[in-house]
């Protein structure tokens, strides 16, 4: 697919910069960005905005949408946004932040993962105004001579400046030649696309800066690098991750999405507002600080906003009403999930039931929640960890903001 042109590009440079800068960690270099924007408006030529994705994790959560939303901002400003699927670099595996060599994906696995992207990102990006490319289109055609030419564009010393490579090298851990070439491969994508701006998480800064260097060594104007923050998960500490269980998936049902967002701390709520909505964060902070807006009301507005982005128009109000009914009125949700658990004895320990039903992530988590007073059974708060539940009965169990009807059989 060729360059995507739009009927209207935002002509106000300051307005463009205001939208672009929102939520960013760093822009390298700001003066170059302004010059590129001015030239784009003058020549009526959209800038090429590159964002690369290695197809290794196809389940998209809100942490991923921080970058996707910034891509959407560029689309709405009238620029040519390129969704680069690294089906070739995905076979290599990005070594960023890892302490040992990653297992390589098969080409079949990479292709299968890549196929899931378009459907998911369509919830954030305008697919009709998106250029999707695969870097195997040029790497599959690269000759050994061209590969040698690319390798000659950078030095070993420069690549070893990467913190993760440096640590592994000093500790004597293996670094494969393939991993060593990864930053070069990713940089060469910018050469092929002639990208004006590359977007990525702050953990990708080294790779994107190398793109600037490699572009210059191929005689191109260097891209501007724009880094986005890594969104903390619901725990407010660790980066949002499915493996840590602190995530909100964009394909989750509205009820789970709303409930998870209502569990955010007040401080994290404002960061979510900034990175996941287009609302006026300064005004919301001011209203909360002055008492004009209660923190819970602000959080509920946030949850409704995000649910509305991924579900039907009537879901936000319905989930807000259900949430109020469940927590304000202390009523057990009528549509709480039903879970049937088979046991071999006449009774089962509550701690085990909490884990088996998915309410708790581990025995330690279950014990901690009980001692914190976060567990209720049939509207009665449980304070002892050595509690057992009887077979052939159904229990209404609440753990914090999670509810389930559990039947032991």
pLDDT (tens digit, 9 = 90+) per residue, 260-316? 999 888 889 999 999 999 999 999 999 999 999 999 899 999 999 999 999 988 888
- Own/partner long-range contacts of 326-331 (Cβ < 8 Å, ≥24 apart): 326/403, 327/401, 330/379
Helix/strand/coil percent split, the chain, to 5: 45, 15, 35
Average pLDDT over residues 223-235: 93
Summarize the confidence of residues 213-218 as an average pLDDT. Answer: 92
What residues contact residue 217 under an 8 Å CB cut-off, 6+ apart?
153
Q: What is the mean pLDDT of residues 314-327?
A: 80
Structure tokens at 98: 């890892």
Q: What is the model's pLDDT at position 98?
A: 45
Query: What pLDDT does 181 receive?
Result: 79
Res 100: pLDDT:
46
pLDDT for the residue numbered 92: 64
> Average pLDDT in the 385-390 region?
88
pLDDT digits 0-9 by tens, 86-134: 888 766 655 444 444 445 667 777 777 777 787 788 889 998 899 989 8
Phi, psi of 57 (to 5 degrees): -140, 85
**Statement: the pTM of the whole predicted model exceeds 0.95:** no
d(CA 82, CA 103): 28
Question: Would you say residue 329 has pLDDT above 60?
Answer: no
Mean pLDDT of the chain: 85
Residue 146, pLDDT > 50, answer yes
Query: In terms of Cα–Cα distance, which of 23, 61, 2, 19 is closest to 240?
Result: 61
């Amino acid at each position: 697919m060729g360059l995507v042109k739009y009927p209207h590009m935002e002509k106000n440079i300051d307005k463009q910069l205001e939208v672009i800068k929102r939520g960013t960690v760093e822009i390298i270099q700001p003066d170059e960005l302004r010059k590129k924007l001015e030239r784009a408006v003058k020549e009526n030529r959209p800038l090429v905005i590159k964002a690369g994705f290695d197809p290794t994790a196809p389940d998209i959560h809100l942490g991923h949408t921080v970058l996707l939303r910034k891509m959407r901002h560029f689309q709405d400003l009238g620029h040519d946004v390129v969704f680069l699927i690294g089906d070739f670099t995905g076979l290599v595996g990005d070594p960023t932040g890892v302490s040992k060599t990653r297992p390589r994906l098969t080409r079949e696995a990479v292709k299968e993962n890549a196929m899931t992207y378009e459907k998911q990102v369509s919830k954030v990006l305008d697919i009709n105004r998106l250029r999707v490319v695969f870097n195997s289109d040029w790497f599959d055609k690269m000759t050994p001579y061209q590969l040698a030419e690319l390798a000659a564009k950078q030095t070993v010393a420069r690549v070893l400046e990467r913190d993760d490579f440096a640590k592994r090298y000093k500790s004597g851990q293996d670094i494969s030649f393939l991993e060593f070439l990864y930053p070069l491969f990713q940089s060469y994508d910018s050469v092929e696309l002639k990208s004006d701006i590359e977007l990525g998480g702050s953990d990708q800064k080294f790779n994107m800066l190398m793109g600037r260097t490699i572009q210059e060594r191929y005689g191109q104007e260097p891209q501007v690098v724009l880094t986005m923050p890594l969104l903390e998960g619901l725990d407010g500490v660790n980066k949002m991750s499915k493996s840590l269980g602190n995530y909100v998936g964009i394909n989750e049902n509205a009820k789970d999405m709303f409930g998870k967002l209502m569990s955010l701390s007040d401080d994290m709520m404002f960061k979510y507002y900034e990175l996941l909505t287009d609302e006026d964060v300064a005004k919301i902070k001011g209203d909360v600080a002055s008492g004009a807006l209660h923190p819970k009301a602000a959080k509920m507005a946030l949850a409704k906003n995000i649910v509305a982005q991924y579900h039907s128009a009537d879901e936000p109000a319905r989930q807000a009403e259900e949430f109020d009914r469940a927590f304000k009125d202390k009523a057990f949700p009528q549509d709480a999930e039903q879970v049937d658990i088979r046991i071999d004895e006449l009774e089962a320990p509550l701690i085990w039931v909490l884990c088996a039903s998915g309410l708790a992530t581990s025995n330690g988590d279950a014990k901690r929640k009980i001692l914190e007073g976060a567990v209720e059974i049939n509207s009665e708060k449980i304070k002892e960890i050595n509690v057992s539940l009887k077979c052939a009965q159904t229990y209404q169990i609440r753990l914090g903001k999670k509810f389930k009807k559990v039947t032991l059989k």
